[in-house]
């Protein structure tokens, strides 16, 4: 006998409202259906109502965890449109911001993964250590979450000599912590029992479904925008891309934890090589007509920003594709043949950020059926 287990919109395993419907037989999952749209905020439309500097503030608020990388992606797309280039020091500082954020995001993921498999101690300890990264971010930018660190043409914060001691202390501690968590994740019997061989995504499927970021790298796909399409100062700093084989939850954990170590290396290099110079250059208020696309590597994978200007102060179109959007098909593939016990950790293994990814979905309130609109129907709706 099969029955439906609803997960969400309110469920302890999900940090955000999202609705999954699992058809199960006993414990085994036979079908998955999910529904988006609980947190649609209409941000792409809102871009068109704001001037470019204000669009930057909006972009920063798309995600509460990777807010820094959103603003970097946005600001670099706008800079490309405006034809200005941020000074070299500013680009290095953006790298520092992006890597600090990657460290705290991956630690946060490790904690959530531990929570999903019921390992509360590991959850509390990783989140305790994550606080140190937030402290550094607060020291540098004045904020813990939305840093407001970028502006068109440069950055609004600086790494001063008095900060260096604290940064190097925190990095040393973090390196120790990351190595310890790496050891815990790969050697603890109860963790490996839950994570090894679960939620497998083969390399072929990962390529076919166009997954991005750590999810793809855990399946052995060697891609990283920091190396393949450098932004900020990554062109001048070596990035060692970490991949793993297997594509299961454990491989995801290994990739993310070794990325923390790599981020610490990058941070050390970036702070050491930090060039002297101005923090920003002036940017025009009116942005010349044109289009620009920018790809960056967010903690969760490739993040794409596209802006179009018609020569005024406001963008005429802004488009965002967040990494979770690209990775959602992977969830379905990973959950095939798994059991109910695997739902939370497998969904969490792609490090989903649903609120960034939110799209409108048309749902019939009475039957719960979803509907796809064709291009023609969309056009008709616009004309109405």
Partner 1 sequence: MVLWAEVLTSIVKFLIFPGIVFSFVVGLFFEGIDRKISAHMQHRIGPPIWQPFLDVGKLFTKEDITPSNAEGWLFNFAPYLGFGAIITVMLMLPVYAAQPAFSAAADLIVIIYLLNIPALAIMLAGVSSSSSFGTVGTERYVVQLFAFELPFIIASLTVAAQANWTLSLEGIVAYQQANGWLLWELPLAAAAILLVAPGKLLKTPFDIPEAETEIVYGPLTEYSGPKLAVFNVMENIKILAVAGFITALFLGGPTAHVIAGVQIPAIVDFLIKTIAILILITLIRTVTARLRIHQALKFYWGFVAIIALINLVYVMVI
Asked if 331 and 352 touch (Cβ cutoff 8 Å), the reply is yes
Shortest Cβ distance from residue 2 to partner 1 (Å)? 11
Q: Which stretch binds partner 1 (CB under 8 A): 53-61, 282-290, 333-341, 375-383?
A: 333-341
- Is residue 130 involved in binding partner 1 (CB under 8 A)? no
Q: Can you tell me which of 39, 43, 340, 363 binds partner 1, judged by CB under 8 A?
A: 340
Distance from C-alpha of 167 to C-alpha of 136, rounded to nearest angstrom: 7
- Residue 20: phi, psi to the nearest 5? -110, 140
Separation between Cα atoms, residue 341 and residue 45, nearest integer Å: 39
Helix axes 67-82, 88-116, angle to 10 degrees: 150
Indicate which single residue of 46, 341, 362, 378 sits in contact with partner 1 (rule: CB under 8 A): 341
| Minimum gap (Å) between residue 5 Cβ and partner 1 | 5
Q: Which of 89, 106, 115, 256 binds partner 1 (CB under 8 A)?
A: 115
Binding mask 134-173 for partner 1 (x = CB under 8 A): ----------------------------------------
CB under 8 A: which stretch of 1-9, 53-61, 135-143, 166-174 binds partner 1?
Answer: 1-9
Query: 18: which residues sit within 8 A by CB, 6+ positions away?
Result: 8, 9, 34, 35, 36, 38, 352, 354
Answer yes or no whether residue 352 interacts with partner 1 by CB under 8 A.
Answer: no
Closest C-alpha to 234, from 200, 260, 273: 273
Q: Which is nearer to partner 1, 114 or 266 (CB)?
A: 114
Cβ closer to partner 1: 84 or 347?
347
Residue 6 as a binder of partner 1 (CB under 8 A): the answer is yes
Beta partners for 294? 305
With contacts defined by CB under 8 A, name the span among 31-39, 102-110, 183-191, 327-335 that binds partner 1. Answer: 183-191
Between 223 and 342, CB nearer to partner 1: 342
77 vs 184 by CB, closer to partner 1:
184
Least spacing, CB of residue 267 vs partner 1, in Å:
25
CB of 191: closest distance to partner 1 in angstroms? 5
Determine if 124 is a binding residue for partner 1 (CB under 8 A): yes
Contact residues for partner 1, defined by CB under 8 A? 3-6, 11-13, 24, 26-27, 114-122, 124-125, 128, 188, 190-191, 193-194, 339-344
């Amino acid at each position: 006998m099969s029955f439906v287990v609803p997960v969400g919109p309110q469920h302890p395993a999900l940090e955000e409202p999202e609705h999954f419907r699992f058809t199960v037989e006993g414990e085994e999952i036979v079908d998955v259906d999910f529904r988006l749209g609980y947190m649609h905020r209409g941000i792409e439309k809102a871009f068109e109502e704001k001037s470019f500097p204000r669009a930057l503030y909006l972009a920063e608020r798309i995600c509460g965890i990777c807010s820094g990388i959103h603003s970097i992606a946005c600001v670099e797309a706008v800079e490309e449109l405006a034809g200005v280039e941020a000074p070299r020091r500013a680009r290095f500082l953006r790298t520092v911001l992006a890597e600090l954020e990657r460290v705290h995001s991956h630690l946060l993921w490790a904690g959530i993964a531990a929570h999903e498999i019921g390992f509360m101690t590991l959850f509390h300890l990783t989140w305790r250590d994550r606080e140190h990264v937030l402290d550094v971010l607060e020291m540098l930018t004045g904020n813990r979450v939305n840093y407001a660190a970028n502006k068109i043409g440069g950055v609004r914060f600086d790494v001063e000599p008095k900060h260096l001691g604290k940064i190097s202390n925190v990095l040393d501690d973090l390196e120790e912590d990351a190595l310890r968590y790496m050891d815990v994740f790969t050697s603890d019997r109860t963790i490996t029992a839950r994570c090894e061989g679960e939620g497998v995504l083969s390399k072929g499927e990962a390529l076919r479904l166009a997954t991005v970021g750590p999810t793809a790298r855990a399946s052995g796909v060697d891609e990283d925008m920091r190396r393949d399409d450098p932004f900020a100062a990554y062109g001048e700093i070596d990035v060692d891309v970490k991949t793993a084989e297997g594509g299961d939850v454990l491989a995801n954990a290994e990739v993310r934890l070794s990325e923390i170590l790599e981020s610490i290396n990058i941070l050390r290099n970036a702070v050491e090589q930090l060039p002297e110079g101005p923090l920003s250059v002036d940017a025009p208020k009116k942005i010349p007509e044109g289009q620009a696309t920018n790809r960056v590597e967010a903690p969760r994978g490739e993040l794409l920003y596209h802006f179009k200007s018609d020569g005024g102060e406001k963008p005429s179109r802004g488009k965002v594709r967040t990494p979770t959007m690209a990775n959602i098909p992977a969830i379905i593939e990973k959950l095939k043949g798994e059991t109910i016990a695997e739902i939370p950790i497998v969904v969490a293994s792609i490090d989903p950020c649903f609120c960034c990814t939110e799209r409108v979905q048309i749902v019939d309130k009475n039957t719960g059926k979803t509907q796809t609109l064709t291009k023609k129907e969309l056009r008709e709706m616009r004309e109405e």
